[in-house]
């Protein structure tokens, strides 16, 4: 089972594969509001927001977490491998806005933290002397946090957590962060982003907004992201095949975590119809068998 990990009750690890973009200036929140799938115009000081950054075709270029730093500035945390391209593309749209975008990764140390399960809303933000702690989606009976500290601040005084365990918990939480291998492969709902608080359907226009809204309200969504376990290594961007329709892919791996014993836990975008019968396999019709596992949230919004 995906929850059978021997973990300390509390632990932390540095996240060197993550980075930070700073949006600086009096129009920072307004500018991001016009570009991302979430409402940043009303972003409060004690909350963070999950959001997507889409192409004009509504395909995700990044998933990220944003929060206020001071009165005006906004910080965006996201996987480092997509940061340069996202920063370059966002900068193209600044134009006359009073907003300066920069790579602030060197100014911040990002940590992942687990703690005992507790009440509280995901994306809640706690401010501390050296930075902020942001509540991520829970997994395997633990609460999870993104801890952004000023560079040079003392490391959290917690037991060490392995990157392997953190990756497993990331998958179990049901949130797939867009990486280079999966850019422009999914509209937000294909990654269940709106179920995790990453899409606001009442806000104004942003790149790809019409496509995202159409998927939500016209019943055009044919794919969702599901959780699977398998024996063998899996990688983001690998195709999934269905036993009863082997001639074409039935899905794509969005996030993968592999353990030393060879097991992998993956989040894979999959044709909804492919779950009715037959079996799913990694890489080819005769590849490793995917065993469905329960997501920590319901997938009933659009089906």
The whole-angstrom distance between residue 290's C-alpha and the CA centroid of its chain comes to 22
pLDDT-derived band at 220 (thresholds 50, 70, 90) equals low
Q: What pLDDT, in 10s, does the model give residues 120-174?
A: 899 999 999 889 999 999 999 999 999 999 999 999 999 999 999 999 999 999 9
**82 dihedral zone (left: phi>0; alpha: psi -120 to 50; beta):** alpha
Q: How far apart are CA 188 and CA 190, in angstroms?
A: 5
Residue 49 confidence (pLDDT): 98
Residue 4 confidence (pLDDT): 61
**Exposure string (b/e) for 84-118, b if CB count within 10 Å is 16 or more?**
eebbebbeeebeebebebeebbeebbbbbbbbeee
The number of helix segments (H) and strand segments (E) in the chain equals 4, 16
Residue 266 above 50 pLDDT?
A: yes
Strand ranges across the sheet with 49-54? 49-54, 60-69, 73-79, 18-24, 100-103
Closest listed residue to residue 64, CA positions, set 226, 170, 177 = 177
Joined tokens for residue 19 = 């980075």
The whole-angstrom distance between residue 211's C-alpha and the CA centroid of its chain comes to 20
Q: How far apart are CA 293 and CA 299, in angstroms?
A: 13
Residue 275 above 70 pLDDT?
A: yes
Average pLDDT over residues 174-184: 98
Residue 2 above 60 pLDDT?
A: no
Domain 11-172 in CATH 3.30.1360.120: yes
3 state SS of 225: strand
pLDDT over 70 for what percent of the chain? 97
Joined tokens for residue 72 = 């005006």
Which residues, 6 or more positions from 272, have their beta carbon under 8 angstroms from its beta carbon?
221, 222, 223, 224, 303
pLDDT-derived band at 3 (thresholds 50, 70, 90) equals very low
Q: What pLDDT, in 10s, does the model give residues 140-154?
A: 999 999 999 999 999
pLDDT-derived band at 104 (thresholds 50, 70, 90) equals very high
Residue 231 above 60 pLDDT?
A: yes
Query: What are the residue boundaries of the structural domains of the chain, listed by start?
Result: 11-172, 222-293
Residue 6 confidence (pLDDT): 83
Residue 217 confidence (pLDDT): 78
Q: What is the pTM of this model?
A: 0.95
Joined tokens for residue 156 = 């959290």
Cβ(65)–Cβ(110) under 8 Å?
Answer: no
Q: How far apart are CA 218 and CA 212, in angstroms?
A: 10
Q: Beta partners for 135?
A: 145
Q: What pLDDT, in 10s, does the model give residues 21-64?
A: 999 999 999 999 999 999 999 999 999 999 999 999 999 999 99
Query: For residue 125, how many C-alpha atoms fall within 13 Å in the half-sphere facing its CB?
Result: 18
Domains 11-172 and 222-293 share a fold: no
| Gyration radius (Cα) of the chain, Å | 19
| CATH classification (class only), 222-293 | mainly beta
Average pLDDT over residues 104-109: 98
Which residues, 6 or more positions from 186, have their beta carbon under 8 angstroms from its beta carbon?
59, 60, 178, 223, 225, 252, 254, 269
């Amino acid at each position: 089972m995906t929850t059978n990990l021997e973990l300390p009750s509390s632990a932390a690890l540095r996240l060197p594969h993550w980075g930070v973009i700073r949006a600086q200036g009096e129009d920072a929140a307004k500018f991001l509001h016009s570009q991302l799938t979430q409402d940043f115009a009303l972003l409060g000081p004690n909350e963070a927001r999950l959001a997507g950054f889409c192409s004009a075709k509504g395909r995700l270029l990044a998933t990220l977490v944003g929060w206020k730093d001071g009165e005006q500035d906004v910080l965006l945390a996201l996987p480092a491998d997509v940061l340069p391209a996202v920063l370059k593309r966002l900068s193209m749209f600044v134009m006359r806005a009073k907003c300066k975008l920069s790579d602030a990764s060197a100014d911040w140390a990002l940590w992942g933290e687990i703690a005992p399960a507790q009440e509280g809303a995901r994306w809640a933000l706690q401010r501390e002397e050296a930075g902020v702690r942001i509540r991520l989606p829970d997994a395997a009976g633990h609460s999870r946090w993104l801890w952004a500290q000023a560079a040079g601040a003392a490391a959290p005084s917690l037991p060490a957590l392995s990157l392997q365990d953190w990756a497993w918990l990331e998958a179990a939480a049901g949130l797939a962060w867009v990486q280079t291998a999966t850019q422009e492969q999914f509209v937000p709902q294909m990654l269940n982003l709106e179920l995790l608080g990453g899409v606001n359907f009442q806000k104004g226009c942003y790149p790809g907004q019409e496509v995202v809204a159409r998927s939500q309200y016209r019943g055009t969504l044919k794919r969702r992201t599901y959780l699977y376990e398998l024996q063998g290594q899996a990688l983001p961007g690998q195709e999934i095949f269905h036993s009863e329709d082997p001639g074409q892919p039935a899905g794509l791996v969005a996030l993968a975590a592999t353990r030393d014993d060879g097991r992998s836990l993956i989040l894979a975008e999959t044709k909804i119809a492919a779950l009715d019968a037959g079996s799913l396999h990694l890489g080819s019709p005769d590849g490793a068998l995917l065993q469905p596992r329960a997501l920590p949230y319901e997938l009933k919004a659009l089906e």
